[in-house]
Structure 1
C-alpha cells in the first residue's frame, strides 16, 4: 500500500498536515528502540536524534517535517530491492535534471548523517550522534548569509565557492584574495576568511584520503611491512628529504590513497547518486542500441558466468584501465611485442592475486 506523504509540505496548522502527522505517529510507534525512543524527522533533528514519541510529535507539529525525507527508511520503509527492479525499462533519454535549491547542503548533510548513523554504535544514550562536529555544520546551515538574506545559508555559499574554485582550477591564493574582497565588500556576511578555513568547515562532509610515504624512485611504499623502514628496501634511498632534522621529517614522496569502500558507500547513501548506481539494471537497451557498457557482450557474458552476483543490482562491477600506462619507466621507448607480452604476464599475475580475494573478478586478457 502506498503511503500518502503529500501532507509533509502542507501548512502545519492545516487539517491535512495534522491528519498525516497522526498517521505517521502510528507508524513511528512500531519502530521505537528498547528505551521507547524513535528517530525524529523534524527539520531540526533530521533523523540524527532519538526522542520519546510525545517529543517527536511536538517537534513535527512545531518545527515541521523534513521535506527531503521521502523514503522513510528509519521508520520501516525499505529501499527498492532487486526483485522490484525491472530489466525491461525504457532507455535513459530525456532525464530531467534536478534544479539546485537553497537547501541542497541540507540534503547533503542529511545523507551523510544517514550513512553514519546506520550503525547503532554511532548513537549515544540520549539518541544523539557521537560525532558532535555535525552540530557546527547545522548551526552554519541555519545561519543566514547576512541578516536580510532568506535564500542562501552561509554553508551553502561556502560549498558553492569551493565548487567554482575546483571546476575553474583556482589557486588557493586566488581563492584567499576573493574571500578577503567579499568580506570587505559585505562586512555583515558570514564568509570564510581563507581557503583553509573553508575546507576545515566542510571537511566532515567529504571523504578523506590516506597518505603513504613512497620511495623517491618509485621502488616501494613505506606501508604495512615496510612501514617502519627508514630506507627503501630495494634501492636503499632514504625515506626522508633531510635525515638530520630534529623536528618533523619531510618524506621524499607521498602517495595519496583514496579508499574505495567508503566512496561506494557514499554513492549508495546519497539520494542524488543511488539511482545512477543501479541504472545499469533499470535502463538496459530494448531497441538493440548500446547506451551503456551493460548492453555490451562482455557485461552480458559476466552476468551469465556469475548469475548470483548479477541478480543483485546494487553489486558493483569494477574495471581496471591501464591504457597509455608505461610500466617500463622509459617514456621514449617504442612499443615492442616482447614488452607487451611481459606486461600481459604481469597483469595476469596481478589478476590472480585479486581473484583470490574477490572470486567474481575477471581479467580481460
Structure 2
C-alpha cells in the first residue's frame, strides 16, 4: 500500500476515520439562485468525493445575508438552505463518509451589490482592502474594494448569535460537525489582525481583545455541537484578500493557546504557500510552514492544507507535523483521489477556468480512474 501513514486510522472527535485525507472546503459557486440553497448537483459533487470512513469539509457557507462576497455561494441561514444541505449530507452519509460544514462571513471582502439594500459591507474597522486587490460586483464587474462600515460594539454579539444559529442549522441539516472559517482575510481574521482591526473597544487593540471575536464565535458553535465536533481554520502566514500580520507568531500563538483548552475536534491550517491559490498559481518558495511552527503549540488533532502531493502529505504525517491533510485543487479533478493515491494511479489535471460558477463542466464531469482506464 502506498502512503501507509496517510492511509492509517485517525480519530477526530467522536469519529473514527479510516484514512487521513480530507476534502478541503472549496468555494465552487454553484448553488441554486436566488435561494442560494444547495441543489441535487451539489449533492452529486460531494457524494463523488465521499469515501467510506473519510472526512469532507463542505464549502464555506455564509451565516447571514451580509456575509456574501461572491455569487452562487450556498448559505446556511434559511430553511431552504438547510433542506438543500440535507440532500448533500444524506448523499455523503450514504457513502459512509463524514462531513463538516464551514461557517463563514466575508466581512469587508464583499461589495455593496451583494449586500441587503445595497449597504456597505461590514468589518471590524473602516479599512478598505488594498488597491492591488479587486472586488467582483454581483453583475460580474471588477472594481476596487469599497471602504467597509465598521461594526458598532453592540452589533458584534449579533454576528456571534448568527454563527450560533448557523451552527444549529447545520445540526438540523445532519452534518457531523462545523468548522469556523478564521482564515483567508475574512471577517474572523479581520478581527484578529492589526492591519484590519483598528478598534478601541473590547474587540480591538491588544492581541487578547482581537482574539475575542474568534473565541466567542467558536464558543457559540461549541454551545450547539459540543467541542468535539467543532473545528477552527486559521492561516497564520496567509496574505489572501489583503490579510497578513507583520509578525504573526505572537497573535497566533495566543489564539492557539486560547483554543487549546476548549477540546476542539481539530485545528485546520492553510499553509502560506497556498494563500490565494484558488485564483492563481502561487510561488511558495521560501515561505514559512504553519504546521511546523504551530504544531508544538497546538495540543489536539491538526489538519493542514496547501498544495500537498501524496508524497508531501505522507511525509508531513510521518514526521509528526500534521495528523491529516486536506486536499483541494487535485480533489476537484480527481473525485476518487484517496483511491488514486493509495494505488498509485495517475492524477487528472484540474482546469482552473471551471473552479468558480458554471454547472456540470469542471464540477461533476471529472471521471474516476476505472472509467478512464476502460475508455
Same fold, TM-score > 0.5, yes or no: no
Ranked by relative contact order (alpha carbons within 8 Å, sequence separation 6 or more), the top structure is 2
Select the structure that is richer in strand: 2
- Which has more helix, going by share of residues? 1
Sort the TM-score into its range (normalised by shorter chain): under 0.3
Structure (1 or 2) with the larger CA radius of gyration:
1
